[in-house]
Structure formats: C-alpha cells, structure tokens
Chain A
C-alpha cells in the first residue's frame, strides 16, 4: 500500500551509504525498528526496497537473495535464499505462484547516501 501513499505522509529515513549495498545485490538496514531490504540494481540503474521478511517461512532473508528480472516486461524480482520464492521488486507480488504479497518502499539516493521512505 505504501507505494500509493501521499507524498506528505512519507518520511525519508537515512539508511546507509551507497557503497554499503553491493552492486546488483541487497543488504538489510534497521530503520525505525523495522528490517528493510535495500537493493542496488546497478544493471538497471534502479534502487528498490522491500520488507526483509520472506512470508513463506517467515525468515528475515530477502536482502540476501539474488535479484534479477523475468518476462517480456523485465519485471525486477528478488528470490528468497531459502526456497527461491520470487517477489516483484516493483509491486511486492509473489511471482512464483503463491498467494503472498510483500511490502515495497520508495528509495532515493542523494550525495552517495541511501534514503528509504516509510
């Protein structure tokens, strides 16, 4: 739901520096007590953020997953390292056929620092 939040309710939180997130991979930041997975999709020049919890077995693991894309639309996705359930980095929808939905968050990078909007 957060993707359609009005701009005025969105608060940008400093997460880490750009170099803290591996290129074409992810890492987890602790923001306001929440575990947020941040992905530096260098290949596409895009940044994404999602909840770190994989809803399948409730494991804090998505930031350690491989990212990539799928289909003609090249939907960006992350695969959980546990059982390779995949989720859209754009919409949070589960792409591997299960009825899961994860939270996504807006990300911006300014002056080498990464901010996540909660």
Chain B
C-alpha cells in the first residue's frame, strides 16, 4: 500500500523536498500531493531582483508544472491549505479539496513582516516577496521618482537594488539599527559598505524610526521619530520576515512565542506525522532565513521518509557570502565576538573600499569568525579554517590578506586543511576524496570533475580544487610535465626537437617512431603544426591532410552551417581597385556574405566546400594568395597609412607592413599570431595589442612583443627601441623561432611570455644578447622557411588530386549539402541559426 505525503507550500524549499524525494526513486513508495498558494510553481526567490534586471518568470522557475506531472506529483496551485484535521489525518484546501495524508510536510515559508506604522495601507507601499509584488512595483515605478526601502538588512538592500534597476531617480534606505546588515556586519564594516553603496547612488539613513507614512490615498512622504520628513512616492517594506504558521496554529501544533512551528532535531512538529521545513520552522529556537539550511531540512525529512539514513538537522552554519549591488559582503563563523573573549585583527583600506576582520581564539590557535567587505576572495579558505578548527599559522593576518610581495603560497593553505574538510559543498566532496583521486591518477581538473562531480555545481570551489591538484602533485615530488596526449609522452618542445633530429616529414612516421596507438584530435594537429613549422611543406600531401585541424584540412574556416569562409591575403591592408572589384565579383557569383575583418582584409562567408577550389581559382588568377585565416599561422600585419599620406607619419608604415607580412606569410606556429606597424606614436595600427608590433620613432622603429587582444587583453612589451628595419626583422626572426620551438600547443605569445622564466628580460637576453648562442641558427631556420613558402591554394587549384577532396558527397561531387541553410539579412545572407 502506497503512503501519501502532502506538502503544504510550493516555494523553494517545498520544491526542493519534492526534487530530493524523486531523486531517491521513491515514486513506488509514495504518492506526493502539493498545495501552493501562489498561481505559479516554485521560483527562485533569492534572485528575485534579477526579474528587474531582465530575467523572466521562466528563468526564475525552479521546475515547470510539466516536471511535477512527469514525476507523478499532483500539484494544486492558487489553493492554500486552510485546515488540518489531525485525528482524521486530512487537510482541507481553500477551494474545499480534502486530501488524506500519512505524512504532512509544512513548507509554508514566511511573509514579509510589516511593522504597524500608521499609513502602511496607502497606495505606493509594497512588500518584496513574490512575482506579483514585483509586477505591482514595476507598474507603480513608472510614475514614481523617489523611492525608499524600510530595512537595511540583506533583503532590504536587495529591494533597494530592485528600485535602482527600476530607474527611480532617488533610492533611500531606512534602517532602524545604527548599521546596515546588522545580523552579518559590524559597525566598521557597515561604514565601509555604506560608503560603497552611496557611491553607487543609494542614500542611506541609519538610526531612523519611521513613525508615519503620510499622503492622501497614496504615499507622499515619511515622517521619522526625529521629526525629519522625507518626500517619497514609493516605499518598499523589507523589515524582516514572519513565519507562516497560521495553519499550524489552527491545528493546535506547538508554535514559538514570536512565531514559527516548533520542530525537533528530526524536524517533526509536536505531531510526529507532521514535519515543518524552511522558514516556517522554528528549529534550535531560531528561524533559519536562508535557503541553504532550508534545503538541508528538506534533505533531512526525505532521508527519514525513505529510511535511507538516520540524519538529523544540526545547527546550520549561517556564514554567507554575497554580492550586494556589486559589492562583496561575507560574514562567517562568530563574526561579532569581541575582545577580551578573542583577539581581533582588522584591515581597512578606504581608498579601495575594503574592510576585513578576523576573530582569533586568545591562544592564537584557531580562527573563530570574521567579516569581509569589498573583497571576499579569501572567504572559502577562512570558512574552512573555522569549520575545521585548523591550527593557524604564526601570522594569521596572511589568511585574510593573501600572501603579499610574491606570487608564491597562493595554494599552500589548502594543504593544511584536514582530509574531511568539505571542498565542494554542492556535491559534498571532501579534500580527502579529491586528493585521493589525484593520487590515483585523476590529476586534471576535468578528470576530477568527471570522477567526483566536484566543481560542477556553482563552480565556486574550482580554484581550490586546482590548488589541491597542484599541491598534491608537488607533494608527491611530481614534476608536472605537459605531455601532448596519451599517444605521445613528450612535451611539445621535446617532440619538436625529436621530429627535427629524426627528420620525420609525416604524422605517421612521427607516431610510429615516437608515439603509440592510433593518435587523436589532440596530437594530430599538434604534430601537423610541428611538421609545418619545421619544413613548411604543403600541408595536405603525404597523408598529412587528415591530421590537420578542422580549418586547415579544407584551407578555409568552417562556419555555423558547415559552409566555409574565404580570406585572401591583403598585405598591410593595401589593395588596388581592380582587386577589390574581383573580390566583389567572386562574392556575387558564389552568393557570399562579405565583411571587412578586424585585420584590414575582406572575409567572404557561406562558401560550399565544393565551391572552394573554383572560388580560389578565380582569386589566384587575379593575383591573390591564401590569407591563412584558417591556420595557426601569421594572420595579418595591420598598418596605418604612414608617411606617404599622413602629415604626422614618420616612416612608411604600409611598405614596412607589407614587407613583414610577405616575409612571414604562411609561417605556422603553436598558435595564430598577428602584427601591426604604426607610422608614429599615435599608434593608429594598434601595434601594442599584437604578438609583435612595430612603431615608428624619429630614429627608427620600436619593436614590441607578446601583446594580445582576445580573451585576455595584454599590452605588448618593448623589446628594442630605435632600431633600423634590418635589425628589426632580425629580432623578429629570432623571437618567432624561439617562440615556435618552445611554446606549448595552442599557446599565444602573450601566455608563452607569462610562463617564460625570467619574462621579458630573459627574452631580451635571448633575442638581443644571444645568451643561448642560438641566434644564428634561428635566423638560418627562418630563412629556410621563408624560402620554402608557396601559396597552398595555388597548389590545390592546380592539382586535380587535391581538388577532388573538396566535395561534400564523395559519390555525388556535384550535389551540395542540402542541409545547408541561409537566411536573408540586410541585403545579404547569414547562416541559419543552429540548435542550442
């Protein structure tokens, strides 16, 4: 006989209870019926303010109504339970439904506490609790200018953020206590927080007791006990919560003096068949007003019902870390304990808006708690220290400040944690489990995520997991060698040297001689790149075609619908009108979308793979060459117009850019690389954002290296100044060869330099002072590569065997892929959107 569980309330915790019960495969054992008061299924109330920042109700919904149906849960919305008959074990809903239960779970949550201030009933006064509240606020805000929030706690500040998002001209925060967030933050922390929030446009009033809400029907002002009157036309009351215990009271269950259904450690009310969880429950004499303990309560009750394990609800750690209107705020352990009961260390930096406080036991051994405002990066570590009672280092302030004056030590702290320290709280994974897996060979972040699930939830623990991996490896005396993959147990640099010494020209030779197995999508392009950098042979011959990466294989860039883009080289961005016309004609003929690229050339999109040779034949005949936009190779050398036209130009930057681009065109490297030449210090070519950039000076050129745009922008660093063109090219030869030989796969020059021991000074010593004695060799090798250059597309166009490979259907070369779809946009085409 199936037992029936009735859940009263469909908020976050009520939903989580259902989710956890379903996850236990309890469907055969129980019927689950849920009654909710609101018109929609449970949604994320914690992130309510995101609704004004553009999130929809759907985004916030925990699970759609269909989820309940799919899992066999009966869901009654807009129908709160109004009575419980404990003798008959039935509940009655507002609409008159009577439902029998074996177990009843009260998850009725809480309502906003509205203090009995005269005038709270006026128009324009709101609470901040439900989507309906938000809709009403949004409506009213359209005609409101000045808003206020009563309550400077967590919820009040969230509500203030909502008013900012609604675009009110002024937002005031009124707090009765002498500080903001009185439950989490001390006076000094509150001051720092106040300064930061005021910078963001909030007006904050502390020690303010609201006496009356004035106005004729609608609110027009607030009167405070000190006689001050504040004009507002909108007010949100967020002065705390009160547990929804009405039904429990009617049913005669024990409730607390100030509200809340009293529960024992197993979350049973005074009637053992009735449980209470979340903000309606009074456990350990307190209401837990956060979502995490609510979820834990749901878990405790589920475990009891399915008799999985004997788990009770223990006093829950109320440490919190959050971003309030962009300001980090964290509070952990015993944040308020004071001297002489502890030693307190405080760090304050008003220029940066940072306040940190830690409380330490009087014997200096243990961390008791603390507060972080403005920078909460150390929160995880500090919380772990409190929870695990780790013995503190001699200078415990390092824990909150991070080690200063060096990049060492950032991860060492994690090793001091005990093995049972919880690292990933979403998946409940301990330090011991992670370290064990690292020792068992799962020594990458991906491997750890796969085998333990750590770091797959909120992701907050990922930095700690990384530190644990590295520190565990180090403690084992493992020198971390970045080998290519399972098929080649060499670093790229080792492989580069070996392939050169052995004289291998194909991937198969390299795999036979230096690797094992069949290869994969990691080692194939890596070796292909090494071969190209060493010999600069045509990449699609000798069986090397199928080891090239996606784009190199077809000498074009694969785009969203499986078509390709075509980028002819336009050295230095200089092009004749005749050539421009050819590009236009080709684009028209093959129906291509055209766009100017960031590198001063023209990209033609939407080419079918079978059209590529014909397109290139026309381009090659007009004097174009491959632009290598598809390769880990030189892309463009951008230039400003320079001294030929510009009245500020010092040298002819276009001519130098063309010379450089033609020297290094087709040169393959561990990653793509870009360059630019500017004709004067105004830097119109943006050379300092390139892998190598050249800027004209009165006396010659300045050469900058290892800059990057992209994901992590980084300015290039000066390698040499006031050098002549010949020296400049010599230095670039050496620099590029050194990079090509030593960088790891897919590493841009900026990242390579960041990892290079000795940094730019060492690079100067190699390139300019020849400390390695390799510069002659570097230059010879570069000259050999430059000599060996041939346009790949010209070779394909003139070689019938190679041309044959450019088809979609090998048995029907003239049929194009019928799945390729385009859509019109601004008189051109775009790729049809793909499934997400």
Contacts and interface: CB of A to CB of B under 8 A. Distances in A.
B228 interface: no
A57 B835 contact: yes
Interface in A40-73: 41, 43-44, 53, 57-61, 64-71
Given A20-B811, A66-B524, A81 B558 contact: yes
B819 interface: yes
Contact of A21 (B547, B550, B562, B810): B810
A69 B140 CA distance: 63
A68 B834 contact: no
Nearest to A24: B546
Contact of A30 (B518, B805, B809, B836): B809
Given A68-B519, A74-B517, A25 B545 contact: yes
A59 B520 contact: no
B384 to A, nearest CB: 29
B521 A59 contact: no
Contacts of A65: 521, 550
Given A23-B546, A60-B562, A81-B558, A86 B521 contact: yes
B518 A22 contact: no
A64 B553 contact: yes
Contacts of B805: 22
A15 B812 CA distance: 10
Nearest to A33: B818
B564 to A, nearest CB: 10
Contacts of B808: 28, 60
Contacts of B807: 27
A22 B545 contact: yes
A117 interface: no
A60 B543 CA distance: 23
Contacts of B561: 59
Contact of A28 (B524, B545, B810, B835): B810
Interface in B516-538: 517-521, 523-525
B810 A20 contact: yes
B792 interface: no
B518 A76 contact: yes
Contacts of B523: 68
A70 B520 contact: yes
Interface string B795-836: 000000000010111111001010110000000000000111
Contacts of A43: 508, 518-519
B191 to A, nearest CB: 48
B17 interface: no
A12 interface: no
The size bracket of the interface on A is 35 or more
B835 A68 contact: no
B314 interface: no
B666 to A, nearest CB: 22
Contacts of B819: 35, 53, 59-60
A37 to B, nearest CB: 10
B285 interface: no
B554 interface: yes
Interface in B440-489: 450, 486-487
B547 A30 contact: no
Interface in A80-109: 81-82, 84, 86, 97
Contacts of B546: 22-26, 66-67
Contacts of A21: 810
Contacts of A16: 810-811
A45 B166 CA distance: 67
Chain B CB within 10 Å, residue with most, of A53, A59, A74: A59
Contacts of A31: 811
A87 to B, nearest CB: 12
A26 B835 CA distance: 24
Contacts of A61: 558, 562
Given A58-B834, A59-B562, A61-B562, A29 B550 contact: no
B67 to A, nearest CB: 18
B518 A66 contact: no
B834 A15 contact: no
Contacts of A81: 550, 553, 558
A21 B450 CA distance: 35
B304 to A, nearest CB: 33
B94 to A, nearest CB: 42
A101 B689 CA distance: 43
B105 to A, nearest CB: 32
B810 A27 contact: yes
Contacts of A28: 808-810
Contacts of B518: 41, 43-44, 67-69, 74, 76
A82 B558 contact: yes
A41 B543 CA distance: 12
A22 B507 CA distance: 14
Contacts of B524: 66, 68
Nearest to A15: B811
A79 B520 contact: yes
A71 B486 CA distance: 8
Nearest to B516: A74
B521 A29 contact: no
Chain A CB within 10 Å, residue with most, of B508, B517, B521, B553: B521
B811 A30 contact: yes
Given A29-B811, A59-B834, A69 B520 contact: yes
Nearest to B834: A57
Nearest to A41: B518
B834 A79 contact: no
A22 B508 CA distance: 14
Nearest to B553: A64
Contacts of B836: 57
B398 to A, nearest CB: 39
Contact of B450 (A29, A30, A67, A97): A97
Nearest to B528: A66
A74 B836 CA distance: 31
Contact of B520 (A27, A44, A57, A77): A77
A16 B808 CA distance: 13
B816 to A, nearest CB: 11
A99 to B, nearest CB: 14
Given A15-B811, A43-B508, A82 B517 contact: no
A58 B558 contact: no
Contacts of A86: 521
Contacts of A30: 809, 811-812, 815
A76 B518 CA distance: 8
A26 B547 CA distance: 11
Nearest to B525: A66
A84 B551 CA distance: 13
B243 to A, nearest CB: 42
16 contacts: A22-B545, A23-B543, A24-B508, A25-B546, A29-B809, A30-B811, A30-B815, A35-B809, A35-B817, A57-B834, A57-B836, A61-B558, A61-B562, A71-B486, A82-B550, A97-B450
Given A57-B836, A64-B558, A66-B547, 7 more contacts: A16-B810, A23-B546, A28-B810, A43-B519, A58-B834, A71-B486, A81-B550
**Pairs of residues from A and B, 10 with the lowest C-beta to C-beta distance, nearest first:** A25-B546, A81-B550, A68-B520, A79-B521, A69-B518, A27-B810, A66-B521, A30-B809, A57-B834, A20-B810
